A and B are shown apart, each in its own frame.
Chain A
Amino acid sequence: MSDAATQPRSWRRPPLIGNAWLRWAIIAGALVYLVAALSTIEVNWERVSQGLTQGWRFIEGFLAPDFTSRSRDIWRGMEESLTMTVTSTIVGCLISIPIGLGAARNIAPLPVYAVCRAIIAVSRSLQEIIIAILFVAMFGFGPFAGFLTLSFATIGFMAKLLAEDIEDIDETQAEAIRATGASWWQVVNYGIQPQVVPRLIGLSFYRLDINFRESAVIGIVGAGGIGATLNTAMQRYEYSTAGALLIMIIAIVLVAEYLSSLLRKWVQ
């Protein structure tokens, strides 16, 4: 210790990864990957420079949005998107409740748990777009396929969060209800429901918001809604209509977020 105090000693910040070999291997690997990945990008600069003028036209369209000349299409797309959002959120949330109950390890028997978890895994790992492609192929074009897609995605999302909430509850409350001789349903009703319902309501508003945003996308593969209108507008190079649509999407998401934060405060 006296050495330390008297002799000059250099100091360096200890590296994040102690092993020098591993450290350098990771750095080198990252560099190699970066070079390899960047080299795969082929940029057609001529096309990009052409595109910049187009990009400028798009920004102009965004700044001077045109709500009127395609108002019929816009109105129809919005109507489909909004109704699809509401119906799919309600149906999805209702279906997710039994599945969420079944996927909570602390109240469901193992076979039920396995089945419900499998449903959740399938629903969550498939992109909305991919589901929409399949549903459009089966049920034809239009918002009905979109409704099914969003309901399916809502089930995975809500059931997973509901199951996690139930697994995280204060077990002593449920135990106290069970100790009174209550049946399974009574335990769920008195011991679990009061603990998870406020958050469940908050989550369903959050999902409503997500479903609206997704409804703007699945139209691109033919499942109805504002996405179809947007896709058409882009293909016709009607950038001012596209700009109007984007502004409406952003505005509705803002309003929905604000309302759902108000409602969540009110519920909790």
Chain B
Amino acid sequence: MLRVESLTKTYATGDKALNGVSFDVPPGEVVGLIGPSGSGKSTLIRGINRLVEPSSGRVLLNDSDITRLGRSELQRARRRMGMIFQEYALVERLTVMENVLSGRLGYVSFWRSLFRRFPQRDVDKAFALLARVGLTEQTDKRASALSGGQRQRVGIARALEQDPELLLVDEPTASLDPKTARQIMRLICEVCREQALPAIISLHDVLLAKMFVDRIIGLRAGEIVFDGPPAKLDTSILTEIYGEEDWTEIHDDGHEEAHAPELSHEERMAGLT
């Protein structure tokens, strides 16, 4: 499905943000990417769809090498990868619907997109997605009029509108309060499971990662230091990733969280309406 082979990124300043990162993501797997700030999480995610140009290494999406594509081929490859951003990155002055439909830009001609005449299929899909993320009422509001959680829902709908084969998610919860953060993470993981969609989610919150994802990759200084199921992520590994700190409290917290999904069914419904 997605294969990253010894991906390396050296910035013009000489800083090595990524150093020989390799891993595979099979269909339908949700991978959490953790590591301290500056460990290369964001660069790795942006290196996959080449918002950051990798220095060397390969990215294979269904056997086509993305790092070798020309400009227009890259545009075609990008429509297959939906991306969700840290600060939502919605176009603030466009309506919610326009933001969602912008997910189809790679598929429609310039003139259609200029006059906002998208094919009925795309519009239907956008309405269905807005209903799925619970924003039907907000269709014609400007993105700037929404709350943080609502904006990130629009971001999710925009990524899904692309009919992606892969979701790239960069710190989706960094600017949200803890409750909304969980609702958003739950929503992302649910849609991934519904559609057997693989995803790579970078997270600064280890707890959230352990709660929701199937597999965790730990980065430190641009290199992979852990790759395995969340259950195997113990104190010694966290110390290796983040450095010396008292991890027991987090573990206790994590323990409580293990029961949380059963308790929060109502909360989940509340979050979607």
| A-to-B contact residues, CB < 8 Å | 1, 4-5, 8-14
Q: How far is the CB of A3 from chain B (nearest CB, A)?
A: 10
With beta carbons under 8 angstroms apart, the residue of B116, B128, B132 that contacts A12 is B116
Count of CB-CB pairs between chains A and B under 8 Å: 31
| Listed residue (A5, A8, A10, A11) with the most chain B CB atoms within 10 angstroms of its CB | A11
Q: Across the interface, do A1 and B123 meet the contact criterion of CB distance under 8 Å?
A: no
Q: Across the interface, do B127 and A13 meet the contact criterion of CB distance under 8 Å?
A: no
Q: Across the interface, do B123 and A14 meet the contact criterion of CB distance under 8 Å?
A: no
Q: Knowing A13-B95, A13-B116, say if A1 contacts B124 (CB, 8 Å).
A: no
Chain B, residue nearest A14 (CB): B140
Q: Across the interface, do B136 and A1 meet the contact criterion of CB distance under 8 Å?
A: yes
User: Which 3 A/B pairs are nearest by Cβ-Cβ distance?
Assistant: A5-B131, A13-B116, A14-B140
Query: Whole-angstrom distance between the alpha carbons of A11 and B124 in the complex?
Result: 9
With beta carbons under 8 angstroms apart, the residue of B98, B116, B127 that contacts A5 is B127
Interface of chain B: mostly helix, strand, loop or mixed: helix
Q: How far is the CB of A12 from chain B (nearest CB, A)?
A: 7
Q: Across the interface, do A9 and B127 meet the contact criterion of CB distance under 8 Å?
A: yes
With beta carbons under 8 angstroms apart, the residue of A1, A8, A10 that contacts B131 is A1
Say yes or no for B126: interface residue by CB 8 A criterion: yes
| Listed residue (B116, B118, B126, B131) with the most chain A CB atoms within 10 angstroms of its CB | B131
By a CB distance below 8 angstroms, the chain A residues around B98 are 13
Chain B, residue nearest A2 (CB): B131
Q: How far is the CB of A48 from chain B (nearest CB, A)?
A: 35
Contact string against A for B residues 91-133, beta-carbon threshold 8 Å, 1 for contact and 0 otherwise: 0000101100000000000000000101010011011100110
Query: Whole-angstrom distance between the alpha carbons of A253 and B97 in the complex?
Result: 48
By a CB distance below 8 angstroms, the chain B residues around A13 are 95, 97-98, 116
Q: Across the interface, do B120 and A14 meet the contact criterion of CB distance under 8 Å?
A: no
Q: How far is the CB of B155 from chain A (nearest CB, A)?
A: 19
Q: How far is the CB of A220 from chain B (nearest CB, A)?
A: 44
Say yes or no for B180: interface residue by CB 8 A criterion: no
By a CB distance below 8 angstroms, the chain B residues around A5 are 127-128, 131-132, 136
Q: How far is the CB of A54 from chain B (nearest CB, A)?
A: 41
Chain B, residue nearest A9 (CB): B127
By a CB distance below 8 angstroms, the chain B residues around A1 are 131, 136
Q: Across the interface, do B131 and A4 meet the contact criterion of CB distance under 8 Å?
A: yes
Q: How far is the CB of B33 from chain A (nearest CB, A)?
A: 33
By a CB distance below 8 angstroms, the chain A residues around B22 are none
Q: Knowing A1-B131, A4-B131, say if A11 contacts B136 (CB, 8 Å).
A: no
By a CB distance below 8 angstroms, the chain B residues around A8 are 120, 123-124
Known: A1-B131, A11-B123; 15 extra A-B contacts, CB below 8 A, are A5-B127, A5-B132, A8-B124, A9-B124, A10-B120, A10-B123, A11-B97, A11-B118, A11-B126, A11-B127, A11-B139, A12-B116, A13-B95, A13-B98, A14-B140
Q: How far is the CB of A5 from chain B (nearest CB, A)?
A: 4
Q: How far is the CB of B93 from chain A (nearest CB, A)?
A: 12
By a CB distance below 8 angstroms, the chain B residues around A9 are 123-124, 127
Q: How far is the CB of A50 from chain B (nearest CB, A)?
A: 42
7 residue pairs bridging A and B, Cβ less than 8 Å apart: A4-B127, A4-B131, A8-B124, A11-B126, A12-B116, A13-B97, A13-B98
With beta carbons under 8 angstroms apart, the residue of A4, A12, A14 that contacts B136 is A4
Query: Whole-angstrom distance between the alpha carbons of A218 and B186 in the complex?
Result: 70
Chain B, residue nearest A8 (CB): B124
By a CB distance below 8 angstroms, the chain B residues around A12 are 116
Query: Whole-angstrom distance between the alpha carbons of A1 and B93 in the complex?
Result: 26
| Listed residue (B116, B124, B132) with the most chain A CB atoms within 10 angstroms of its CB | B124
By a CB distance below 8 angstroms, the chain A residues around B126 are 11
Chain B, residue nearest A10 (CB): B123
Query: Whole-angstrom distance between the alpha carbons of A13 and B112 in the complex?
Result: 13
Q: How far is the CB of A252 from chain B (nearest CB, A)?
A: 38
By a CB distance below 8 angstroms, the chain B residues around A10 are 120, 123
By a CB distance below 8 angstroms, the chain B residues around A14 are 95, 140
Q: How far is the CB of B86 from chain A (nearest CB, A)?
A: 28
Chain A, residue nearest B128 (CB): A5
Q: How far is the CB of B32 from chain A (nearest CB, A)?
A: 30
Q: How far is the CB of B113 from chain A (nearest CB, A)?
A: 11
Chain B, residue nearest A11 (CB): B123
Query: Whole-angstrom distance between the alpha carbons of A170 and B127 in the complex?
Result: 49
Q: How far is the CB of A114 from chain B (nearest CB, A)?
A: 41
Query: Whole-angstrom distance between the alpha carbons of A1 and B139 in the complex?
Result: 12
Q: How far is the CB of B119 from chain A (nearest CB, A)?
A: 11
Query: Whole-angstrom distance between the alpha carbons of A12 and B120 in the complex?
Result: 11
By a CB distance below 8 angstroms, the chain A residues around B123 are 8-11
Query: Whole-angstrom distance between the alpha carbons of A12 and B140 in the complex?
Result: 9
Query: Whole-angstrom distance between the alpha carbons of A9 and B116 in the complex?
Result: 15
Query: Whole-angstrom distance between the alpha carbons of A4 and B134 in the complex?
Result: 12
Q: How far is the CB of A119 from chain B (nearest CB, A)?
A: 41
By a CB distance below 8 angstroms, the chain A residues around B128 are 5
